Structure 1
Amino acid sequence: MSKNSTRRSFLQKCLITAPVMGIAPHTIARTTDRGRDSNSIKKANPIGVSTYSFWRFKGPKEDTPIEYCIDQAASMGFDGVELLLIQMKSDDNGYLQQLKRRAFHAGLDLMGFSTHQGFVYPDKEKRESEIEKTIHQIELAYQLGIPTMRLNTGRWGTIKSFNELMANKGIEPILDGYTEDQGFEWVIDAIERCIPTAEKCGVTIGLENHWGLGRTAAGVLRIVDAVDSPWFQITSDTGNFLENSYEQLEMMAPQTSLIQAKTYYGGGTWYTLDIDYDRVAKIFQDAGYQGYVSVEFEGKEDPKTALPKSLERIRKAFS
């Protein structure tokens, strides 16, 4: 008997005995051909939490160490943790591996890395410095075993105060003597320089809709489409569109690698949005998104009470 005949005989026996074993034949078919079967099982999105949710820039970062955030996230029932780089006390490899081990022992994925950089600078040397910094951040994500990293475009900096920028809905004038097109060219060129490291490390960069040239979905997509790399996608933040938010999230959904879900229990620091998460979940699920949703709590309530409520709200919507 040939090997192929033996294999066919074995599979036929499995299908015959499957009901006896408590496994329906159609379940086996879905498992072996899930990518093409229209009846494939839909799983709920895993829910993580950003360490920013525990700190929110309130007081010294040493008062809210990453280790504490990991332990709290585990006790609250989250599936993973998104690390805020500037909240970490060090980028020494020993410290990074301790965080990885702590998360693993707590049953949590390290599923996102939120970093800061900017490329909207006329000074080429300054842009080069930001490129080098971003490449280093990608390598840190690799050391931590984190599969996706948040990226910013940066902004013109013509409004110095962030509070004033928020009061102006994130809109600021272009730097005198330059054009918006030049800003996009700087950002696109800088990100293209980072792609080889992202590919080598297996870290997907996700450009966030986070003020600057990424303030709108059109701006984000202009950059993502120009770079045109599977290692450069989108981090979709539900709280960073102050107009036409659902329509703009829908534009970005097909190229999203991570969702950051804002909640505002106790009232927001700069503003409060009433986000319909059932509608948001449907937008992303219709686009085929199955990845992580990371809670970013930005309210005034104590995180110890606000984050369990946030988890319940987001998990219910994305289940």
Structure 2
Amino acid sequence: MKTDYRRKFLKNIFMGGAALSLAPKMIAGPRAYAGVGKSHLKLSCNIYSFNDPLRKSEMTLEEVFKFCSDIGFAAVDPTGYYFPGYPAVPADEYVYEIKKKAFLMGLDISGTGVRTDFSNPDAGKRAADVELVRQWVEVAAKMDAPVLRVFAGKGYLRETQKPK
């Protein structure tokens, strides 16, 4: 009889210990993932946000960069049509000067963009836009911009081939 009592006692001790070891996990619930390291997300300002002051020559690209740096942006996206002579590709000296100004203000260049219309039914205009993109890919590379934005187009009605 003593043997049965001992077996039950040992079994209860073992089961109780196992149950107690799970209790903290059951009480605490699921843990949030803490992650490893910092986020790599950076806030960037698309320079089109300053379209009016830039078009009216009330601000320069350098002044826009300074503003963006002062309020804490990590990067800027200088759209191609704010470069002198757009859509022509600017001189390398100008491109490198823009890159240097951004760098000295603590800003990365997150991208740039060009105005295109790849939905245009005119094959010649679409080919010209492809060439424009090819040229501006080179400009983006010189600025270390990882992105070149393009527009798909306005859209055209198939029947009339006129813009919607």
* TM-score relative to the length of structure 1: 0.36
Verify: 1:49 aligned to 2:19, yes or no.
Answer: no
- Cross-structure match for 1:293: none
Verify: 1:77 aligned to 2:72, yes or no.
Answer: yes
The structure in which a higher percent of residues are strand is 1
Gaps of 5+ in 1: 1-37, 158-173, 179-211, 213-319
CA contact (8 A) 2:53 2:59 kept: no
Structure 1 CA distance, aligned partners of 2:109 and 2:54? 24
Gaps of 5+ in 2: 1-33
Query: How far is 1:62 from its partner?
Result: 3.0
Q: 1:59 to 1:106 in 2, by over 3 A?
A: closer
CA contact (8 A) 1:100 1:144 kept: yes
Query: How far is 1:42 from its partner?
Result: 4.9
Query: How far is 1:139 from its partner?
Result: 1.1
- Cross-structure match for 2:62: 67
Q: 1:75 to 1:127 in 2, by over 3 A?
A: same
User: Which residue identity does 1:52 align to in structure 2?
Assistant: Y
Per-residue CA deviation, residues 44-65 of structure 1 (Å, 9 max, x unaligned), is: 621111111123x457353332
Query: How far is 1:69 from its partner?
Result: 0.8
- The number of residues matched between the two structures is 126
2:78 partner SS: strand
User: Which residue identity does 2:70 align to in structure 1?
Assistant: S
- Cross-structure match for 1:217: none
2:159 to 176, 191, 198: 176
Q: 1:59 to 1:93 in 2, by over 3 A?
A: closer
CA contact (8 A) 1:61 1:87 kept: no
Query: How far is 1:72 from its partner?
Result: 1.0
Query: How far is 1:39 from its partner?
Result: 4.4
1:49 partner SS: strand
Per-residue CA deviation, residues 167-196 of structure 1 (Å, 9 max, x unaligned), is: xxxxxxx24256xxxxxxxxxxxxxxxxxx
Per-residue CA deviation, residues 65-101 of structure 1 (Å, 9 max, x unaligned), is: 2111111111111111111111122411111111111
* TM-score relative to the length of structure 2: 0.67
Q: 1:140 to 1:59 in 2, by over 3 A?
A: closer
Q: 1:85 to 1:123 in 2, by over 3 A?
A: same
Structure 2 CA distance, aligned partners of 1:131 and 1:177? 24
- Cross-structure match for 1:149: 148
Query: How far is 1:40 from its partner?
Result: 2.7
Which one has a bigger Cα radius of gyration? 2
Q: 1:43 to 1:72 in 2, by over 3 A?
A: same
Structure 2 CA distance, aligned partners of 1:39 and 1:47? 20
- Correspondences of 1:70-219 after superposition (within 5 Å): 70-90=65-85, 91-156=90-155, 174-177=157-160
The sequence identity of aligned pairs, in percent, is: 22
Q: 1:61 to 1:136 in 2, by over 3 A?
A: farther
Per-residue CA deviation, residues 13-63 of structure 1 (Å, 9 max, x unaligned), is: xxxxxxxxxxxxxxxxxxxxxxxxx943351621111111123x4573533
CA contact (8 A) 1:62 1:89 kept: no
